[in-house]
Structure 1
Amino acid sequence: MRTVILLLLSNVFMTTAWYWHLKYKDTDLWKVIVISWLIAFFEYCIAVPANRIGSYEFNAFELKTIQEVVSLAVFVGFAVFYLKEELRWNYLVGFALIILAVFFIFKKW
């Protein structure tokens, strides 16, 4: 559970670093890059330990799958609540297919 919580926190920072500036299109690109790198620094400080801790319980494929699902969940919240984007049915279908991929990754065959 520590791994998932740390990945959740790191993805909040990374999603913010990548997308916060979309509401500020008048800001100079170089400023956006510098601010985003500063935000991303904190993401790395959390993501690296998350993956190190997680490696004792999960293999690399499982860790990446967890990270992608967490990333999508964080992004959906960010896009809907911060960017005010509409969540459409086809996005939900696409995410459901990704969840199906999670089943195949974690299923012990």
Structure 2
Amino acid sequence: MPQTWTAIGPVALLLASNVFMTFAWYGQLKVEHRPLWLIVLIGWGIAFFEYCLAVPANRLGRAVYAPAELKAMQEVITLVVFAIFSATWLGEKLTANHLVGFVLIGLGAVVVFKGPF
């Protein structure tokens, strides 16, 4: 496997998996007229594809990244995907406090990648 794919592949897979998971968890907020049991089943169906991407992302990513780095990366990706989703799909406004909070979490990920102190 080429070195570039080894480093970038897990990021791409985590990005795609987070799109699925964000829709599975939050997409239903615009569909209030359906019964909850149906929404749960649809969410499980969407989450299946998230899992099919997240597991290989972590398996492949382990060759390049430590598990803590993979988790930190996943959290930052989740926030980016959620921020875009929230603004576009849900029509929510991103406020300064959201952005500051997200930046602080991103800084936490940077600390994880910097290694032991």
**What TM-score does the superposition give when structure 1 sets the normalisation length?**
0.97
Task: Give 1:79 shift.
Answer: 0.4
For 2:52, the aligned partner's letter is C
Which residue of 2 is the match for residue 56 of structure 1?
A: 63
1:58 is paired with a residue whose SS is coil
Q: Classify the secondary structure of the residue corresponding to 2:28.
A: helix
| 4+ runs deviating over 3 angstroms | none
Where does the alignment leave 5 or more consecutive residues of structure 2 unmatched? 1-7
How far apart are residue 99 of structure 1 and its match?
1.4
CA drift at 1:10: 0.3
2:89 maps to what in 1?
Answer: 82
Identity of aligned residues (%): 51
Q: Provide the alpha-carbon RMSD of the alignment.
A: 0.7
Residues 75-109 of structure 1, C-alpha deviations (whole Å, 9 max, x = no match): 00100000000100000000111111122111134
Match of 2:38 among 31, 34, 48: 31
* TM-score under structure 2 length normalisation: 0.91
1:1-109 maps to which residues of 2 (within 5 A)? 1-108=8-115, 109=117
Gaps of 5+ in 1: none
